[in-house]
Amino acid sequence: MFEPRDHVPTPAELAGRVVAITGAGSGIGRAVALACARCQASVVLIGRDAAKLDAVHGEIAAAGSPEASIALLDLERAVARDYDALADALLERYGRLDGLLHNAGLLGTLTPIEHYDVPTWCRVLHVNVTAAFVLTQLLLPVLKKSSDASVVFTASSVGRRGRAYWGAYAVSKFALEGLSQVLSDELEGISHIRVNTLNPGRARTAMRRQAYPAEDINTVPLPETLTAAYIALLGPASRGVTGGAFDAQPPARPSSTAAASSPDSKARSSS
């Protein structure tokens, strides 16, 4: 059975491939961008912060990997012409897109549904779901130019089994599982595009700190340790695999905190 987290990438595994990653300036997106470049992909770094993207671009250049490109796109504010411009630029520069990783995301707040702030709800759903839908739709023509393309949506444990207080974030991740299933079903048999979701599990990032401020962050795996599963799903190792929901880490063992019922303890098991 195909298990992306057991994958061992080879040095030129993504050679000749063009892979676009949202939220590539920090956290998991940055780590995956660097890993893809190490495997010889041409990486398109998509994000809203030019300085962060420049820094990743520089790291890729310093490592002697294929030159990356930068696409500034704020997923909260982007309008149709911004997405069109990105699709046109990709087509002009590369002629196709072989991998698209939807990694950017917003946590929102950990709040009971009864009290969830409506504007925050709308922001989270927009960035996490609607923007990913629009970007996918606008990039489908470029993905169709590839003979072996892969779309990966970033999942979460709380988007596979609902958990109290995770509000818009959890709902947005459930929606991405649905979007992935619908799209994979539509494309199967009529295109070379596969569509899957990948839950990174716990990773030492800004979002993790925001969700678990009292946790010792040093006990949480670095994003760099999780990239093999991303390479597997974005590259040739997953050819023919579509409509799946995968995990970059083995499932967490049930703990006493996970079984507890106070709001605090529910927000402290893995996301």
Q: Would you name the residues annotated as active-site residues? A: 169
Closest CA relative to residue 222, chosen from 251, 196, 249: 249
Q: Which is nearer to ligand NAP, 162 or 236 (CB)?
A: 162
**Token reading at 231:** 């390479």
Specify the 3-state DSSP secondary structure of 199: strand
- How far is the C-alpha of 269 from the C-alpha of 163, rounded, in Å? 10
We find the least distance from the C-beta atom of residue 121 to ligand NAP, in angstroms, to be: 15
State the number of CA atoms in the 13 A half-sphere of 41 facing the CB. 31
Residue 2 CB neighbours (<10 A): 15
Write down the least CB distance from residue 104 to ligand NAP, Å: 4
CB neighbourhood size of 125 (10 A): 18
Nearer to ligand NAP, 107 or 143 (CB): 107
Supply the angle between the helices 80-94 and 131-143 in degrees, to the nearest 10. 30
Shortest Å, Cβ 215 to ligand NAP: 10
Closer to ligand NAP by Cβ: residue 49 or 117: 49
CB closer to ligand NAP out of 38 and 102: 102
Q: Least distance to ligand NAP from the beta carbon of 28, Å?
A: 4
Question: What per-residue string of b and e applies to 179-212 under the rule 16 or more CB within 10 Å gives b?
Answer: bbbebbeebeeeeebbbbbbbbbbbbbebbeebb
Give the residues lining the site for ligand NAP (CB under 6 A): 23, 25-29, 47-49, 52, 74-76, 103-106, 127, 154, 156, 199-200, 202-203, 205-208, 271
Minimum CB distance to ligand NAP smaller for 26 or for 184: 26
Minimum CB distance to ligand NAP, residue 240 (Å)? 25
Where does 100-222 have alpha helices with state H? 118-125, 131-143, 167-187, 206-211
Q: Which residue carries 């949480």 as its tokens?
A: 220
* Separation between Cα atoms, residue 223 and residue 202, nearest integer Å: 9
CA 164 to chain centre: 23
Cβ 244 to ligand NAP shortest distance, Å: 17
Residues 6+ apart with CB under 8 A from 51: none
Comparing CB distances to ligand NAP, the nearer of 163 and 208 is 208
